[in-house]
Amino acid sequence: MNAGGGATGGGPGNPGVQEGGGPQQYHPSPSALSAAAMVAAATATATATASVVALQERQEMNSQFSQVSNIILTHAI
């Protein structure tokens, strides 16, 4: 423990934790924030990609349904 009651840690990859009079506070390192931002960006990209793929599949299914409906209606008459 730091005898002066100051902050410890705070180096690269080592979050600083406040010691002394108040409640302990977590101070994430810039690399932790950067990693969290990259995870958030990757998640958003994956979600957007899945949405586009689902929309394309839906459009293909609608097109196929229309083609089959036209064939059935043509032959039913």
Q: Within a domain: residue 18?
A: no
Report whether pLDDT(16) > 70: no
Does 52 map to a domain?
yes
Q: Would you say residue 8 has pLDDT above 60? A: no
The tens digit of pLDDT for each residue in 19-31 reads 555 677 878 888 9
Residue-level pLDDT at 49? 97
Residue 38 lies in a domain: yes
Burial 21-53 (b: 16+ CB within 10 A, else e): eeeeeeeebeeeeeeeeeeeeeeeeeeeeeeee
Residue ranges making up the domain that contains 70: 27-76
Q: How many domains in the chain?
A: 1
How confident is residue 55, by pLDDT bands cut at 50, 70 and 90? very high
Q: Is residue 63 part of a domain?
A: yes
